Each structure stands twice: as C-alpha cells, then as structure tokens.
Chain A
Amino acid sequence: MTAENRFGDEQYYALLEQLQAIDFVLVELSLYLDTHPTDQNALQQFNDLTEQRWVLANEYEKLYGPLQNLGRSYSGYPWQWNDDPWPWQV
C-alpha cells in the first residue's frame, strides 16, 4: 500500500459506497434490459450512468489504485495490483 492511500478512513468507505451504488443500478438495468431490449428510457439511463460510472471509477482509482485487472485499469509504480486490502478485508 502506498503512503498516500488511506484505506479505512471515512472518505474511502463513502466513495466506495457511491461506486457500489452506481454499479448496482447498472447491474439492475443490465438484467432489466436483457428482457426489455426496446425500453428506450432504461437504455438512455443505462448509457448515462455508464458515463457517470467511468468518471467516478477514475476518481476512485486515483486515490485507491486499480479496480480491474488484466489491463482494464492503469497502474502506478510499483505495480499496484498486489496492494491490499482486498475486498473481503475492508
């Protein structure tokens, strides 16, 4: 874990929960659109949220390191993927 990271402080949990909330709505809308592929309002909401999610995930990654593996997130030096805490530890 690098020095500037502050896992475990209030800001960390608040930002994580914001991300979990937006990602949760994206999961809900995805499953819904799988069975309602022509619902234009849901589709619009899905695309808008996908954009918002990208902004929020970038903010999170700048503070707490990569969210996704295998080239879906950038890494600082040294390689950050190994850094704890892992999701089951926070």
Chain B
Amino acid sequence: MWIYEKKLQYPVRVSKCDVRMAKYLIEQYGGADGELAAALRYMNQRYTIPNKVVGLLTDIATEEFAHLEMIATMVYKLTKDATVEELKEAGLGDHYANHDRALFYNNASGVPWTAAYIAAKGDPIADLYEDIAAEEKARATYQWLIDMTDDVDLQDSLKFLREREIVHSMRFREAVEILKEERDSKKIF
C-alpha cells in the first residue's frame, strides 16, 4: 500500500525559460540511471534480500518516487507554456510529434524507458553493489545537469537531488556491512 502526499519533498523553482533544459532533465525521468529506474529497482529487490535490509529498500524506493515527482515538476514548468516553435528550437520537435507536451518515460535522446535498466540478480551482495553504482551514476548525471544550466534556482533543486544520491549510497554501503556480519554476532560500531 502507498499513500500519496500532496506536496513536493523539496521546493522546485525554475526561474529561467530554458526549454532545452527540459530535454536534458528527462534523462533523470526515464533514463537508465533515472528516478523511475531507481524506485522500481529497489522496490523489486525487496522480495529476495535478507529481512534486515528490506526496510531500507522500501524507504529509499519511496523517496525515489518523490524525486521522480520533482523532475516531472521541472519538466512540466519548462514545457507547459512553450510554443511549438520553441519546442522545435529546443530539440523537442520529435517529442512533440509523438507526445505533444505530455511527459514520457524516455531519456534525453528519446529512447523509451526499459526494464533492462533494472538489474535483479537475486544475490544480495550483487544487488546492493548494483544499487551503490546506480546512486553514483545518478549523482554524476545530476552533476552534468547542474553544469548545463545557469539557472541558480534549478541548480538548487538539482543539488538537493545530487546530495540525496550520496546519502542513499552511504546507506546501501552500510547495508552491505550489515549483510557481511556473522549471524547473531553483535557488532559495536
């Protein structure tokens, strides 16, 4: 069961009408290392991983959906008042031909999202290392997105998302440490 909360996790303010940025931001919506892939990856791993880390996967997956909504908000704000001409100039002519201004789960190059982005090996260590890598790749993507805009308000929201990848990576690395512990042994940290 999931409950929706009618607010963003972090305020999203876009101050510059830079339609082209929407094309780039969509990478984190429907790209390989994007928020949709992240949320579904962690959600799906919960069924085949030791109980000790199921709570963490559930919580991080849930937070990823909040991040997905933040990215959607950025794209929505940048495209809702864009004319067809502006969309074409921004490289979104192909998108408009298929989707008008509808958001779609594809990456910055228009490649549709695919389940192949989600690894699920069933080996707890392999899957957690996959998650750590996914967080670092998402962190890098946020860096490149921050580099591509000079809108300080948009950068602010992207910096928040970048920092969250760091914290998630930290938690997944701790999860690996927890799974390395011997059963029933006590560990003082």
Contact = CB atoms under 8 A, between A and B. Distances in A.
Direct contact of A and B (CB under 8 A): yes
A19 B11 CA distance: 11
Q: Which interface class (under 10, 10 to 19, 20 to 34, 35 or more) fits B? A: 20 to 34
B139 interface: no
Interface in B1-33: 3-12
Contact of B10 (A13, A24, A35, A67): A24
Contacts of B60: 31
B69 interface: yes
A69 B72 CA distance: 20
Contacts, number: 66
A88 B77 contact: yes
B4 A88 contact: no
Q: Which interface class (under 10, 10 to 19, 20 to 34, 35 or more) fits A? A: 20 to 34
A44 interface: no
Contacts of B162: none
A10 interface: no
B101 interface: no
Interface of B: 3-12, 53, 55-56, 59-60, 63, 69, 72-73, 76-77, 167-168, 171, 174-175, 178, 189
Chain B interface helix/strand/loop/mixed: helix
B11 A20 contact: yes
Given A20-B10, A31-B171, 12 more contacts: A20-B7, A24-B9, A24-B10, A30-B59, A34-B53, A35-B174, A35-B178, A65-B6, A67-B6, A68-B6, A88-B8, A88-B12
A87 B12 CA distance: 9
A68 B9 contact: no
A55 interface: no
